[in-house]
Chains A and B, each alone.
Chain A
Amino acid sequence: MTLAPSFASTLRNTLTKDLRLEWRSKDAINSMLFFALLVVVIFSFSFDLTAEESRRIAGGLIWVALLFAAVVALNQTWARELRNQVLDAYRIAPSPLEALFFAKVLGNFIFVSVLELLITPLFIVFYNLRSIGPSYELIIVSILGNWALVVNGTFFGAISIRTRSREVMLPLLLFPISIPAILAMVSATTATLTGEGSAYLPLVFLAVYDLVFTILGLFLFQTVLQAE
């Protein structure tokens, strides 16, 4: 007689499995990195800015670049699940689906954060960026911002694999929903970089957004996964 696995053990197992798979399929990571690099380069030479201007605009640019890179990454992770028919296994598994969702979000979060850690120095170099405000604020923005994109991206990824033209469907669903989060992220980043205005309010907003949509995603993931 087997007992249904607990939330924590499911979370741990799924996460380690996903991370191990990511690590093994390094070609996917490499193509993702190269894509991110290309995005940064194209954005950078499209806008030729002075130091003053770049501090004002870099916030917006970097988050848009990351949004696109994240969508490519998210499509990849769900595509891999489909290839191995893991979804059907999820549906009949006795494990709590909330744990599965949380594990996927965490895995994607780590993945996208790695991407960001690689994109950001490039941006700093290309734009000769120097932050006027405290840099630790930028780290907080990154964490909250990444989570916002990833939690909704994972949820809508689960929805879009049930559609035709699924790679296009994910950004179609994700972008409108992410607009308030992006506004907050850019506002906080710009406030910190330029040293004008406070990043406090947008950060609180982002934290609330993250909380609300994580709970919503956890709540509806099972429904969405088992929709016939």
Chain B
Amino acid sequence: MGDVKLENVTKRYEDVTAVDNMNIQIHDGEFVCLVGPSGCGKSTTMEMVAGLTMPTEGTVHIAGREVTNLPPKDRGVAMVFQNIALFPHMDVYDNISFGLRLRNFEKDEIDRRVDKAAEVVQLEGMLDRMPDEMSGGQRQRVAIARAIVRQPDVFLMDEPLANLDAKLRVHMRTELQRLHKDLETTVIYVTHDQAEAMTMSDRIAIIDGGQLQQIDPPLECYNQPANLFVAGFIGSPSMNFVEGEVTENGFTSEYMDVEFDPSNYGVSAGDKVTLGVRPEDIYPAESGRSISSPTGEIRTKTDVIEPMGDEIFIYLLLSEEVETDLEDPAASNQLLISVPPDSDVEEDQDMSVVLDRNKIHLFDTESGQAIEHSLVASPAASGASGTSGAESDD
């Protein structure tokens, strides 16, 4: 009933294409996050679902009917905005009941629904307050109550937690999940915070440059990113990338090699590829941690160390001639790893690390598309996993 389908939707503003041929199908009751960097087109996509922006091309379907040219009021959607957008001249009751009053609901029915909505978002006893007498969290609850009171087919939420402080944001995140569980209504949620997307959604749609990069469950996006952008965007800190090329024996780059049989992965010698590995999938060799399929040791030098409390981030230099680039942790000449908080590490100390072959991703450098998400299959020469050697060449 609350399913949403975007078919070949494009939005152009004069010479800028904000959304480029977007195809998304969202199922009834699903919680889908649209994530991406600022200006990627995620909010425009949501506005086209809401009817606040008309697509240049393509069609929008909600609950099985085409709504491409319908005004927002006739689409059966409710929206929560980033700046909350409560009507400042109305009290909480009037704000929540606004949509119902417009539709000429009976007074009793309005009261019943407003009370129910206020109860759901825990706003009982505050119905006669004005928005400027409320805290940020309370206002956000009013905005949510205003959305749920109409019992829409689809909730649209455009970065609704972005203006709240960190603690309240985490709290409201949980509340929204609880609400979704209770209401079982389709939610489309726009955010640029990938942690929000990971924790809340059934599926994440990652958008960049107006194009859909991947739409999958959070862990699938994390473990099997469709391309370099998704791999870099999902996960904090970001995935490490090392550019190199395929040889007869596997992967080689200026700083490190990883052996594998190219024929097992549909690549051949000479192909330009990028190797990606997440910080938590790199281990200090001396940690003694048993990994089923480790690569050979890679000699590095520790640079900046960032203790986070529950873990420590270490920037490792693959070559002595370069410096750590904190702006771009994914730079090819460095690795960012995360180690347990009790690890004994110091700056400028030599450290050998191994990568977990199960968790190594291979991307086509030119197209950015993922080729493989695990290099655990047998290396070409030895045929035995865990014995391949990866050497730093510093």
B is a partner of A:
no
Residues in chain B within 8 A of chain A (CB atoms): none
